[in-house]
Amino acid sequence: GAVVSQHPSWVICKSGTSVKIECRSLDFQATTMFWYRQFPKQSLMLMATSNEGSKATYEQGVEKDKFLINHASLTLSTLTVTSAHPEDSSFYICSPQGYLGTEAFFGQGTRLTVV
Amino acid sequence: QKEVEQNSGPLSVPEGAIASLNCTYSDRGSQSFFWYRQYSGKSPELIMFIYSNGDKEDGRFTAQLNKASQYVSLLIRDSQPSDSATYLCAVPGGGTSYGKLTFGQGTILTVHP
């Protein structure tokens, strides 16, 4: 399977601050990046889809000005949670998709806790 | 919009038994299906991928797909305590959005010694 590196694996931040999460595809070119989040005891929910060099498309109910996604290269995408609040505490997971798009791969996930 | 339904469980089976996990989906046009296992605090890991009607076996795991009934299941034979996890059924998006997954709620499986 593909090698995906996501970090940090966990982060604790104060309410009102911003947090950046990085996702790298190490052995293939990620033309598309999916960002999911998972609240406790719930399943993964897609937040947004980004294509390299384009603006991200956000799912209904996800604030695009709060969750900034940058996908400037085929190997790196970042998700920045701006002005984080306790309700943003969740498990964030990236999933890059390459040209062939035959399988979904996941980063290790980032546990965000906002205090 | 695709919908994927699973029994959330929890499902508890004794070690060595067969665990049966079920999933139904709403989009009759869905062609393929994934089963993922997720340990607490970890990302999902792929267990099985199936796209043809019938059974697909891989070690202790068997996926069963019935497109007419819009039903896909996962059987785990000789269950082990290490199989205790949440199992997620997922349906991929179409075309170039193959990696865009719609997940079921997940079924929590506990295998007790």
Q: Is A103 on the interface with B (CB under 8 A)?
A: yes
pLDDT in tens, B90-107: 998 877 677 889 999 999
Tell me which amino acid residue A108 is.
Q
pLDDT attached to residue A54: 85
What mean pLDDT comes out for the span B57-67? Answer: 96
- Beta bridge partners, B38, equal B86
Query: Cβ A97–B98 below 8 Å, yes or no?
Result: yes
Q: What is the mean pLDDT of chain B?
A: 92
How far apart, in whole angstroms, are the C-alpha atoms of residue B108 and residue B9? 6
Query: Cβ A102–B105 below 8 Å, yes or no?
Result: no
Query: Cβ B43–A106 below 8 Å, yes or no?
Result: yes
What mean pLDDT comes out for the span A8-16? Answer: 97
Q: Nearest-CA neighbor of A33 among A12, A10, A6, A15?
A: A6
What mean pLDDT comes out for the span A48-76? Answer: 92
pLDDT in tens, A68-104: 999 989 899 999 999 999 999 999 999 998 766 567 7
Question: What residues of chain A lie within 8 A of the CB of B42, using their CB?
Answer: 108-109
pLDDT attached to residue A101: 57
* H/E stretch holding A96: strand A90-97
Residue of chain A nearest B48, judged by CA positions: A103
Question: What residues of chain B lie within 8 A of the CB of A71, using their CB?
Answer: none
